[in-house]
Amino acid sequence: MKTNVQLAQTEAWEIYSQIMDYTYEIKVYLPDEEPPEKGFPVYYLLDGNDYFQFGRDIVKLQSRNTQKTAISPAIVIGIGHKHLEERVKMRFYDFTPPAPQYVYPDRIKEKNLNLGKHGGAEKFLTFLESELLPIISKTYHINREKQALFGHSLGGLFVLWTLFTRPELFQVYLASSPSTWWNDYEIRKYAGKFCEKKINVDRKLFVSVGSEEMFMVEDAKQIVSSLNDYNIEKLHKSIYVAPDENHASVVPTIMSRAFRFAAF
């Protein structure tokens, strides 16, 4: 006899964003113990439809022995797009910065894809800050000083863009295979402006990429190298190139390492 399987200690709900005029799927993993006095750390995962369960299981299993894993009991939040057929276009809108025009590499042009609208990152970040995060803070006992944002590919681009434009929003930024190539590497301009400001609060940045991701390996190294050139004392950085992994396979390999880097 077949039965439906439910994830233990996991809630699922939806939130309609007035800012985005879109309904997002939210999944929440809650540790099965009393929260610490200041509340649980929180990992926010973009593309939650794909990556929530990875993140949930990492925290659930490894927080059993924090002394060895450096991963404490934490809340994991997956932020997902509601309909499968909408995800590609919504990702290109939600995760890309606004720009007067967009330049596409030949590999994108050759596929003749309909990518939909671009440049919704400001609105999406406002959704996170003004609509989602306040609900999470009100509903769960969280530590607002221990929050991480994780994203892969275009989601990784958004993680970098958030760090460079609103570094106060999260304490840890986890960018997996970030699509820094987007719009002719415009993220480098944001990185330069960010470095010139020299943040005055401690932040962490973890950039990862698979060794088989061709040009994206050098792209990831370049963005970290450019930040190193400015020697920002309060930005703690790390880059990891995962051996033998490609763009599709890298996330399960690096997510545990990324969470340990946060060291909440």
pLDDT in tens, 32-73: 999 999 999 999 999 999 999 999 999 999 999 999 999 999
Where does the pLDDT of residue 220 fall: very low under 50, low under 70, confident under 90, or very high at 90 and above?
very high
Domain assignment present for residue 2? The answer is no
Residue 122 belongs to a domain: yes
Q: Angle at which helices 48-62 and 250-262 pack, to 10 degrees?
A: 50
- When pLDDT is cut at 50, 70 and 90, the band that residue 264 belongs to is confident
Q: What is the band of 201 on the pLDDT scale with cuts at 50, 70, 90?
A: confident
Q: Which domain holds residue 202?
A: 10-262
**What count of Cα atoms within 13 Å lies in the side-chain half-sphere of residue 188?**
14
Average pLDDT over residues 21-42: 96
Amino acid present at 238:
S
Radius of gyration of the chain (CA): 18
Please check the confidence at residue 110 and state whether its pLDDT lies above 80.
Answer: no
With a cut of 90, say whether residue 138 has pLDDT above it: yes
What's residue 27's pLDDT?
A: 97
Q: What is the mean pLDDT of the chain?
A: 94
10-17 sheet: strands from edge to edge: 10-17, 22-29, 75-81, 40-46, 142-152, 172-176, 203-210, 235-242
Residues in the chain, overall count: 264
pLDDT score for 106: 81
Kindly indicate the confidence band of residue 263, based on its pLDDT and cuts at 50, 70 and 90.
confident
Does residue 247 fall inside a structural domain?
yes
Structure letter (DSSP) for residue 77? E
Is 70 exposed, middle or buried, given 0-12, 13-18 or 19+ CB atoms closer than 10 A?
middle
Categorize the per-residue pLDDT at 87 as very low, low, confident or very high, splitting at 50, 70 and 90.
confident
| Residue 36 pLDDT | 94
Amino acid in the structure at residue 113: L
Integer Cα distance of 41 and 143 in angstroms: 5
Q: What is the pLDDT of residue 92?
A: 94
CB atoms within 10 A of CB 8: 10
Confidence of residue 98 (pLDDT cuts 50, 70, 90): very high
pLDDT at 6 over 90: no
- Look up residue 178 and give its two tokens: 């970030």
Domain-located, residue 126: yes
What confidence score (pLDDT) does residue 79 get? 98
Does 168 reside within a domain?
A: yes
On the question of pLDDT at 124 being above 80, the answer is yes
- pLDDT at 255 > cutoff 80: yes
The enclosing domain of 191 has a CATH number of: 3.40.50.1820
Structurally, the chain folds into a number of domains equal to 1
pTM for the full model?
0.95
List active site positions.
153, 213, 247
> Within 13 Å and on the Cβ side, how many CA atoms surround 245?
20
Identify the three-state secondary structure at position 134.
helix
Examine the pLDDT at 216 and tell me if it is beyond 90: yes
Average of per-residue pLDDT across 64-92: 91
Contact, 43 vs 136, CB < 8 A? no
4 found inside a domain: no
Would you say residue 236 has pLDDT above 90? yes
